[in-house]
Amino acid sequence: MFELLLPFCLLVLSLLTLFIIWRINARKYISSGTVASAYDSWTQDKLLERLWGDHIHLGFYPSGKQNIDFRKAKVHFVHELVKWSGLDKLPKGSRILDVGCGIGGSSRILAKYYGFNVTGITISPAQVKRARELTPSGITCNFQVMDALDLKFEDGSFDAVWSVEAGAHMNDKTKFADEMLRTLRPGGYFAMADWNSRDLSAYPPSFFENLILQQLLEQWVHPNFISINEFGNILRTNKNSAGRVISDNWNYYTNPSWHDSIIEGIRRPFAILSLGPLAILKSIREIPTILLMNWAFRTGLMEFGVYKCRG
């Protein structure tokens, strides 16, 4: 009996230890500085880059199933958002602002495949440094450290503004929208994708759902989530959009990313092992949050919003 009980007790103890580590090391949003610090850390340890490539965002799966390579799905997502938003109608040489550019994955695709002149901004100095290192000569991208809530560009500076999965880190969604649309020239294209909650005022969360939402906020430096409709209305009331905003929920196309983001560790074990024992612990530490994200998006508590409009 003891021989059977001991492994079970060790398993429970291990899981409890991991849970305690996960909670103690939560990344709560305090200010934009905590967002910068978190992304500096993720970039410098290179774990996400080794596992997921240079696109730190979800992928696009046309069938809604895990039927294509995770990294290819991420590239496919960029092309799908370009096509859906109309950015492919812009001529080569058009000026594009990538707000929350990460390590430059989307920026490089926009420059390489569409011939755009891309300016990528992120609040993380480590991401800017890595984006520059990953960008070969001849690719018209430049990267700058900048707060998305205080863009240092003149009104109407860009032919298109692009942002993928950055808005959830913004504590002032209205200011975020205002700054992006302010820099968009009249007639320019706006394309955005973000993590949203469902409409919590119309469909209040249960006690359990509230616990899940709290963890999703505290683990990945999110100040708050709002619904697709709420952010769409913020965009519509901006004078630069003239109310011409279209939004959609791409949960069906992006949800397989959550399973794939874990499975990548199995497909590419040496990507983790080559970074040393600490990387193994760090990768395990992210699994609970990814599983919670998967559950939240799969059940509709969270939604993947996409937005487009003309300036």
* pLDDT of 108 over the 80 cut: yes
Average pLDDT over residues 97-115: 98
* pLDDT of 1 over the 70 cut: no
Please state the φ and ψ torsions of residue 99, each to the nearest 5 degrees. -90, 115
Each residue's pLDDT tens digit, 226-284: 999 999 999 999 999 877 899 999 999 999 999 999 888 888 777 777 777 777 777 78
Write 134-142 long-range contacts (CB < 8 A, 24+): 134/54, 134/103, 134/104, 134/108, 135/104, 135/107, 135/108, 139/108, 139/111, 139/112, 140/111, 140/115, 140/116, 141/104, 141/107, 141/108, 141/111, 142/118
- pLDDT of 155 reads 98
Three-class DSSP category at 195? strand
Q: Count of residues for the chain? A: 311
- Contact between 151 and 178 under an 8 Å Cβ cutoff? The reply is no
Angle between helices 228-236 and 173-182 (to 10 degrees): 40
Higher pLDDT among residues 26 and 146, named by residue: 146
Average pLDDT, the chain: 90
> Measured in Å, how far apart are the chain's first and last C-alpha atoms?
71
Q: Which residues are bridge partners to 30 per DSSP?
A: none
The residue assigned the tokens 């440094």 is: 129
* pLDDT of 177 over the 80 cut: yes
- pLDDT of 25 reads 56
Each residue's pLDDT tens digit, 131-140: 999 999 999 9
- Contact between 159 and 191 under an 8 Å Cβ cutoff? The reply is no
Residue 196: closest CA among 307, 65, 76, 63: 307
* pLDDT of 4 over the 70 cut: no
The domain 27-310 is classified under which CATH number: 2.40.40.20, 3.40.50.720, 3.90.245.10, 3.40.50.150?
3.40.50.150
What residues does each domain of the chain span?
27-310
**What one-character-per-residue DSSP string does 64-88 give?**
SSS-S-HHHHHHHHHHHHHHHHTGG
Each residue's pLDDT tens digit, 27-71: 899 999 999 999 999 999 888 898 889 998 999 999 999 889 999
User: Alpha-carbon distance 174 to 103, whole Å?
Assistant: 25
- Contact between 32 and 214 under an 8 Å Cβ cutoff? The reply is no
- pLDDT of 14 reads 43
Average pLDDT over residues 86-103: 98
Three-class DSSP category at 191? strand
* pLDDT of 290 over the 60 cut: yes
User: Alpha-carbon distance 295 to 302, whole Å?
Assistant: 9
- pLDDT of 283 reads 79
- pLDDT of 268 reads 79
- pLDDT of 79 reads 98
Each residue's pLDDT tens digit, 61-93: 999 998 899 999 999 999 999 999 999 999 999
- pLDDT of 173 reads 98
Residue 171: burial class (beta carbons within 10 Å; 0-12, 13-18, 19+): middle
Each residue's pLDDT tens digit, 151-175: 999 999 999 999 999 999 999 999 9
Average pLDDT over residues 173-194: 97
